Amino acid sequence: MGNEEYWWLYDAAAAVLIIINIIISAKRGLVKAAFHIVGCILAVVLAFSMSGSVSASIYKNTIRSSNIDKIYNSMDSDYFVTQFGNYLESLDYNIVVKKEKLDSIFASGTDVDNQLIKYINNINGKKVDSDNMLLKKIHEGYAKVIQKIVGNKLSKYAAASAAEILRDTKTNIDDFAPLVCASEGGYKAGATYIANNYIAQAYQEMIKLFIFTILFILIIMITFAVVRSAVNNDDHTSAASHAMGGIIGVVQGGIIVFAAAAIIRLYFIMGSDTSLFLENKAIDKTYVFKYAYNLIMKI
Q: What is the tens place of the pLDDT at every residue in 196-223?
A: 999 999 999 999 999 999 999 999 999 8
Which structural domain range is residue 293 located in? 4-59+201-298
Cα separation, 12 vs 28, whole angstroms: 24
| Spans in the chain with pLDDT lower than 70 | 1-4, 77, 182-186, 232-236, 272-278
Instruction: Among 199, 229, 260, give the residue marking a domain's end.
Output: 199
pLDDT attached to residue 181? 77
pLDDT given for residue 200 in this prediction = 96
Letter string b/e over residues 49-86, b meaning 16 or more CB atoms within 10 A of that residue's CB: eebeeebbebbeeebbeebbebbbebbeebbbbbbbbe
- In sequence order, what DSSP letters do the residues of 222-282 get, joined into one string? HHHHHHHHHS---S---HHHHHHHHHHHHHHHHHHHHHHHHHHHHHHHTS-HHHHHHHHHH
DSSP state at residue 288: S
Number of Cβ within 10 Å of residue 93's Cβ equals: 17
pLDDT of residue 226: 86
Please indicate, yes or no, whether residues 37 and 77 belong to a single structural domain of this protein: no
Of the candidates 100, 85, 201, which has an alpha carbon nearest to the alpha carbon of residue 144? 85
User: Based on the domain organization, do 95 and 181 belong to the same domain?
Assistant: yes
Contact 230, 264 (CB under 8 A): no
Shared domain check, 127 and 95:
yes
Is there a single domain that holds both residue 43 and residue 81?
no
Residues 213 and 181 placed together within one structural domain of the fold: no
78 plus 151 within the same structural domain: yes
User: In this structure, are 192 and 219 located in the same domain?
Assistant: no
DSSP annotation of 3 reads -
Q: Angle 23-25-28 (CA atoms, 0-180°, nearest 5)?
A: 110
pLDDT of residue 113: 97
Number of domains in the chain: 2
The alpha helices in the chain, defined as continuous H runs, are 8-28, 30-58, 64-74, 79-90, 99-108, 112-120, 131-153, 156-167, 186-197, 200-230, 239-269, 273-284, 289-298
